[in-house]
Amino acid sequence: MTSDDTVAVSGSPTIATIASETGVSPTTVSKVLNGHSDVAPETRARVEASLERHRYRRRGRRQPVATAQIDLVFHEFDSAWAMEIISGVEAVANAATVDVVLSQLRGSHSPTRAWLDAVLARRPFGVLFVLCHLTSAQRQRLHRQRVPFVVIDTDSATSASVPTVGSNNWNGGLIATRHLLDLGHRRIAIVSGPHEVLCSQARVAGFRSAHDEAGIPVDPGLVRYGNFHVVAGYEHGMELLARADRPTAIFAGSDMQALGVLRAARRLGLDVPGQLSVIGYDNLPVAAWTDPTLTTVNQPLRDMAGTATRMLLDLAGGVDLSTSRIDLVTELVVRESTAPPAGGR
């Protein structure tokens, strides 16, 4: 029986009084007070009525009880993409009866010292970082504190000692571009994510590799970096499509960016896919419901999240990981937004 932190307010009855009045043991009264479920309903009702009558007051604030928890930290909450990750993490954590504490860094890719202090003080079972960069000093602090962590997708060149789950961005860039080249496109623009995020560079590298493979030159004016949001797709789309020698296909860095590109095409009176092909990236649920539906690269976000969570639980349990980086496969999902260029090959 755990020690009971309740005490009667002076002048009020004690647990012993309640017990004697209701004809149950003090242990049973304490069980009712602590909300344990193994008390017969009629007994509980009798005890609670007695507690109510005596206006029994628990002393002070409830003391929270620490349980096994993992921290899930996002660089920022980005709507549907983040929700896929959250779902994948929660599913595995829930099955392991581990709680998930959710937070975000409000757009910053690196946690602050204060943030790390607070997390270390709490001693979580482990931490999952999504699109965050940890400095070497921060990684050492976590390591010294025996707080395991896993990074979900971002830096394709993380140190071998940082457990990472990603998806094959280079392959994603390659297969999307091959699809467009196979359809006959020769002027293909790519609007990738931020230049400093290496997954953007990996996709552009895949884009270039596909061109090399086909012996087709890349026009540097058609290679753009932005961010992964809708507006960047719209702005780059408007600018690219307003050119006299506009591209016949645009490979956007995300499905949300692709929505922006679709809007730009609509604004300029260009039919998709009749006059312009568009490919997105991620395969978010909305990609199946746009007009036209979006050809895109499937990023298995829930699987990545689930895999990262299992890796983290293994690390927390003292299991040595056989490999520190796992990249899940990216696959092309062909829908309505891509077709041969107008006028054929």
Q: Which stretch binds a second copy (CB under 8 A): 169-177, 180-188, 289-297, 320-328?
A: 289-297
* By CB under 8 A, residue 209 contacts a second copy: no
Question: Min. distance of Cβ 2 from a second copy in angstroms?
Answer: 10
* By CB under 8 A, residue 195 contacts a second copy: no
**Alpha carbon distances (Å) from 158 to 48, 61, 63, 73, 165:** 57, 44, 40, 18, 11
* By CB under 8 A, residue 96 contacts a second copy: no
Q: Which stretch binds a second copy (CB under 8 A): 93-101, 167-175, 200-208, 245-253?
A: 93-101
CB atoms inside a 10 Å sphere around CB 110: 14
* By CB under 8 A, residue 291 contacts a second copy: yes
**Contact letters for a second copy, residues 163-192 (x by CB under 8 A):** ------------------------------
**Alpha carbon distances (Å) from 46 to 14, 18, 67, 285, 330:** 16, 10, 32, 52, 61
Task: Confirm if 201 and 208 have CB atoms less than 8 A apart.
Answer: no
Task: Confirm if 100 and 130 have CB atoms less than 8 A apart.
Answer: no
* By CB under 8 A, residue 271 contacts a second copy: no
Rg of the chain on CA atoms, in Å = 28
* By CB under 8 A, residue 124 contacts a second copy: yes
In the 8-state DSSP scheme, what is residue 220? G
* By CB under 8 A, residue 123 contacts a second copy: yes
**How do strand 99-104 and strand 69-74 relate by DSSP bridges?**
parallel
One of 8, 39, 100, 175 touching a second copy (CB under 8 A): 100
148 versus 166: smaller Cβ distance to a second copy: 148
* By CB under 8 A, residue 144 contacts a second copy: yes
